[in-house]
Chain A
Amino acid sequence: MNAPAYNFAYLDEQSKRMIRRAILKAIAVPGYQVPFASREMPMPYGWGTGGVQVTAAILGPHDSLKVIDQGSDDTTNAVSIRKFFAKTAGVQTTTSTLKATVIQTRHRIPETPLREGQVLVFQVPIPEPLRFLEPRETETRRMHALADYGLMHVKLYEDIAQHGRIATTYAYPVKVEERYVMDPSPTPKFDNPKMHDCPALQLFGAGREKRIYAIPPYSNVVSLDFEDHPFERYRHDGKCALCGAVDSFLDELIMDDHGRRMFMCSDTEYCETRRALGNGAQGFSKATEAAPA
């Protein structure tokens, strides 16, 4: 075979160095959005080109890569990105959270606790948590610089005024190391506590918006809230129909027109591992009978 027409992990060394510099800066200033010169990747933006570039920049030949999309290793998006790096970097790929050294993710943090030495790479569509109320980039930048974050609570206030509680369930804003307010990407707020004091390095890449930010291992990550409306984790009150888990984040499946539904672990690998260990479908019939929401 001819030598491949691309460099290890697709990106040229020059671009990787540039991205690594941005990553190092992001690690040095936890939660701060570092601009970087986002490169063209052979896939559309919605596919997580920011995350892909971060992964490309940090991947070494001995890494073992896991890619998940909404918790699943098997969606088209996850499979394509895994194949992309298997082909361009020749790295091992895995679905095991335990074995992976680099995990690229869209919308979830795995249920299996992460460990030291691992890197979790998030694909981020909109990195700016203040964008919702302040569209001007110059102004949001100044707000970050001055830690002028009243606006973030305005958003939460509006939630409570309209819904009686903080209704934000995804991309729930956090404050990192008591300084920068950060958007954790559209992960469910169920995953927010996992970011706090996490032994793994967490990196966030936004391709279209050209930003990289980071949470170094064992950082303080606090979800914003009010004293009388404290942050609360949310998961469907149910059991996984396949493995019986009562602690995992559940996806809801509508079974028929009568509103019958069942729940399944969103983290497919967690679910499979539990089943392999003998946890069964004892919750199945009960879950299928759950009342309509």
Chain B
Amino acid sequence: MIGLGNERPLLAAQGLSKWYGRQLGCRDISFQVHEGEVLAVVGESGSGKSTLLQLLSTQLEPSAGRICYCMRDGITRDLAALSEAERRFLFRTDWGYVHQDPPLGLRMAVSAGANVGERLMAVGWRNYRRIRTTAVDWLDRVEIDSRRIDETPRTYSGGMRQRLQIARNLVTNPRLVFMDEPTGGLDVSVQARLLDLLRGIVAELGLAAVVVTHDLAVARLLSHRIMVMKGGEVIESGLTDQVLDDPREPYTQLLVSSVLPP
């Protein structure tokens, strides 16, 4: 396994498997993510990418294997052993989850400001001015005109919704963000702008991220390391540039040659 350093990993998965009844979701997956590191998970449709992401973020229970996470206090814990309250707390402070479909990750019926402020209120912020100022600041950072702070995301374009979702997730300064096809479903030009923005923010905040994508260009631009999945298993992994420039597995070679422009 290639790591960026030899300090303790932020997240470590060991032998993760998921069966949906007799249908395999993913099998025997092990890897680590270190602080500030972006890991891309690529593979064709049905290869188990979303399954893996849901396992990591404890939204699904693994059939086998375990996930350890280094909490803010420096203590590494088995996620399965956390209480639901502790898991929720992780979710609204230390983690983010960006859905491919923004309505799944937003409250469409409340204003953009409230969408960004929700996590702050959930962790006990009780000063309206401060919450609002912080929301304005985050809308600026994701390049949403803060004069539109009181509008609901229903009036936003797809790209704006996705950026709002990102702001809503990052407002508590999480250390780890999960993203499922963050640029999926967007126009190519909108995708490029979002990617640029994501790359800037991730680098600036020193975020660790696990990004699921079937778009190798996204992986290339955002990630340090990459895992290639096929049929529920990881068939190749390594530094992104190395894997994409010099793929060892025939399947990865196929992926790279068919998708990436020369």
A residues sitting closer than 8 Å to B (CB atoms) are 133, 142, 145-146, 148-151, 153-154, 157-158, 160-162, 225-229
Pick the 6 closest A-B CB pairs, nearest first.
A150-B122, A153-B121, A226-B128, A150-B121, A227-B127, A146-B85
> When chains A and B are docked, how far (Å) is the Cα of A62 from the Cα of B71?
60
A146 partner, pick from B84, B107, B123, B132, beta carbons under 8 A: B84
Q: Are A157's CB and B113's CB within 8 A?
A: yes
Q: Are A158's CB and B111's CB within 8 A?
A: yes
Closest to A143 in B: B88
Q: Are B122's CB and A229's CB within 8 A?
A: no
Taking CB atoms, residues of chain A closer than 8 Å to B126 are: 153, 225-227
Q: List 19 A-B contacts (CB under 8 A).
A: A133-B109, A142-B84, A145-B84, A146-B85, A146-B88, A150-B92, A150-B118, A150-B121, A154-B107, A154-B110, A154-B118, A157-B131, A158-B110, A160-B128, A161-B132, A161-B150, A225-B126, A227-B126, A228-B129
* Nearest-Cβ distance from residue A168 to partner chain B, whole angstroms: 14
Within 39-97 of B, Cβ neighbours of A (below 8 Å) are at: 84-85, 88, 92
* Nearest-Cβ distance from residue A150 to partner chain B, whole angstroms: 3
Known A148-B88, A154-B117, A160-B128; 16 more pairs at CB < 8 Å? A133-B109, A145-B84, A149-B122, A154-B107, A154-B110, A157-B113, A157-B117, A157-B121, A157-B128, A161-B111, A161-B149, A162-B150, A227-B126, A227-B128, A228-B127, A228-B129
* Nearest-Cβ distance from residue A94 to partner chain B, whole angstroms: 43
Interface residue total, chain B, C-beta cutoff 8 A: 24
Taking CB atoms, residues of chain B closer than 8 Å to A227 are: 126-128
Interface membership of B114, Cβ < 8 A: yes
Taking CB atoms, residues of chain A closer than 8 Å to B129 are: 228
Closest to B87 in A: A146
Taking CB atoms, residues of chain A closer than 8 Å to B92 are: 150
* Nearest-Cβ distance from residue B146 to partner chain A, whole angstroms: 13
Q: What is the total of A-B residue contacts with beta carbons within 8 Å?
A: 56
B113 partner, pick from A149, A151, A161, A228, beta carbons under 8 A: A161
B residues sitting closer than 8 Å to A (CB atoms) are 84-85, 88, 92, 107, 109-111, 113-114, 117-119, 121-123, 126-129, 131-132, 149-150
Main secondary structure of the interface of A (DSSP, over half): helix
Closest to B112 in A: A161
Report which residue of B85, B121, B123, B131 has the largest number of chain A beta carbons within 10 angstroms of its beta carbon: B121
* Nearest-Cβ distance from residue B165 to partner chain A, whole angstroms: 16
Closest to B127 in A: A227
> When chains A and B are docked, how far (Å) is the Cα of A146 from the Cα of B92?
13
